[in-house]
């Protein structure tokens, strides 16, 4: 598989995984969309809400990369687009951890145990994506 095809596959994976369960705790699960924008049970990562838009680097960066590769546009030559999903994943994990420490004092192992399969897929895809740059 070429680097271009792998980048397209990982971009699709990052976009789709954003709408799958990022956090799951028993019968309760939240997608990346719910973590960022909240729903009736969750208000989001912070009350101010402005910093939540950094989490949109995950699907936004993947979408820009996908469009750039498929249209053969030159803006994908900058490396920041390849790193944008990883920056978004790092931000969301750090903010979730800081919020969990404020709320109930979770340990690291308890914190990692609430990660859903989509967050793991997103993390792996975001780590691999910068290495697909040609």
pLDDT in tens, 18-72: 999 888 887 878 888 887 777 666 655 555 566 677 888 899 999 999 888 888 8
Q: According to the model, what pLDDT value does residue 49 have?
A: 62
Q: Where are the domains of the chain?
A: 3-132
pLDDT in tens, 73-119: 776 777 888 999 999 999 888 888 887 777 777 788 888 888 889 99
Q: According to the model, what pLDDT value does residue 17 have?
A: 94
Residue 3's pLDDT band, with cuts at 50, 70 and 90, is confident
The encoded tokens of residue 60 equal: 């936004």
Q: 3-state DSSP: the chain helix, strand, coil percent, rounded to 5? A: 70, 5, 25
The pair phi, psi for residue 76, each rounded to 5°, is -80, -5
Q: According to the model, what pLDDT value does residue 10 have?
A: 95
Q: According to the model, what pLDDT value does residue 93 have?
A: 87
Q: According to the model, what pLDDT value does residue 124 have?
A: 96
Residue 74 makes CB contacts below 8 A (sequence gap 6+) with: 68
Is the confidence at residue 4, as pLDDT, over 90? no
């Amino acid at each position: 598989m070429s680097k271009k095809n792998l980048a397209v596959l990982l971009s699709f994976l990052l976009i789709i995984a954003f709408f799958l369960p990022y956090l799951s705790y028993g019968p309760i699960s939240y997608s990346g969309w719910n973590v960022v924008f909240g729903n009736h049970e969750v208000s989001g990562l912070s009350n101010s809400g402005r910093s939540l838009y950094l989490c949109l680097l995950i699907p936004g960066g993947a979408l820009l990369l996908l469009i750039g590769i498929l249209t053969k546009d030159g803006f994908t030559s900058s490396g920041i687009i390849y790193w944008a999903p990883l920056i978004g994943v790092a931000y969301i994990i750090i903010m979730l951890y800081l919020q969990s420490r404020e709320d109930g004092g979770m340990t690291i192992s308890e914190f990692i145990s609430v990660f859903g399969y989509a967050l793991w897929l997103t993390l792996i895809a975001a780590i691999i994506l910068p290495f697909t740059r040609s």
